[in-house]
């Protein structure tokens, strides 16, 4: 576990903090599509993402979904800090988008570390900042971009996060993430294919142009 931690966090945290993380953290490997956090869950620990990708989704009471952003290696779920420290409910759902490795940090240690380690404080503040920017970007996307642009952005963003040029997904899944209907996605995808930007298969989309 120490080696895995070192490979991504050795330049972020000081050695003593790394030691503590190894002691109190619990390592977990996530299967693809494994549910990490659900709506209204009490947060049991804050995750540090070693590798893989986690999808953060907002959902309303009717089960209507909307993708907020992805977490990548070295990220943490900023929203979980707030709910962990205030022991409130989490307003989001987190799903592993692919096989991922995380270390869960116990809630009790979080504010202790805030005063003890400046690298930890920086990390927390920084991830809040990164997340806020990410959120503003998605708001922009929602407010100012048309569906076809959003779709293309979604595809290229996701391909980058997954580090692949082709995605194994269905039109329906995309429709859930973008909060639209499958028919609309199918039509716009067809359009993108005609423009030569992508190639469509069953359960698979290949991106030809970034």
Partner DNA sequence: ACATTAAGTGATT
Partner DNA sequence: AATCACTTAATGT
* Site of interaction with DNA (CB under 7 A): 146-148, 170-172, 179-184, 186-190, 200, 202-203
Six-digit token string for 208 = 């030809």
Nearest to 25 by CA among 17, 35, 33, 14: 17
Nearest to 41 by CA among 108, 106, 92, 100: 92
Q: In this complex, which beta carbon is closest to DNA, that of residue 136 or of residue 145?
A: 145
For residues 193 and 202, what is the distance between their CA atoms, to the nearest angstrom? 14
For residues 185 and 151, what is the distance between their CA atoms, to the nearest angstrom? 8
Strand partners, 199: 206
Q: In this complex, which beta carbon is closest to DNA, that of residue 93 or of residue 171?
A: 171
Least Å from the CB of residue 89 to DNA: 28
Least Å from the CB of residue 180 to DNA: 3
181-to-60, 167, 177, 192 alpha-carbon distances in Å = 17, 19, 10, 17
Six-digit token string for 194 = 């005609």
Q: In this complex, which beta carbon is closest to DNA, that of residue 44 or of residue 190?
A: 190
Q: In this complex, which beta carbon is closest to DNA, that of residue 62 or of residue 163?
A: 62
Q: In this complex, which beta carbon is closest to DNA, that of residue 41 or of residue 148?
A: 148
């Amino acid at each position: 576990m120490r080696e895995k931690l070192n490979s991504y966090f050795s330049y972020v945290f000081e050695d003593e903090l790394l030691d503590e993380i190894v002691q109190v953290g619990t390592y977990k490997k996530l299967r693809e599509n494994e549910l990490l956090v659900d709506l209204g869950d009490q947060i049991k620990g804050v995750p540090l993402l070693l590798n893989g990708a986690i999808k953060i989704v907002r959902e309303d009471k009717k089960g209507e979904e909307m993708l907020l952003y992805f977490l990548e290696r070295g990220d943490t779920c900023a929203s979980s800090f707030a709910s962990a420290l205030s022991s409130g409910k989490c307003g989001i759902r987190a799903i592993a988008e692919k096989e991922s490795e995380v270390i869960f940090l116990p809630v009790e240690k979080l504010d202790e570390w805030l005063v003890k380690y400046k690298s930890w404080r920086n990390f927390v503040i920084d991830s809040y900042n990164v997340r806020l920017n990410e959120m503003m970007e998605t708001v922009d996307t929602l407010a100012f971009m048309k569906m076809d642009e959003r779709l293309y952005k979604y595809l290229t963003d996701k391909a980058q996060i997954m580090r692949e040029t082709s995605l194994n997904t269905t039109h329906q899944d995309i429709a859930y993430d973008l909060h639209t209907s499958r028919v609309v996605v199918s039509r716009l995808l067809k359009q993108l294919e005609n423009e030569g930007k992508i190639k469509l298969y069953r359960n698979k989309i290949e991106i030809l142009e970034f």
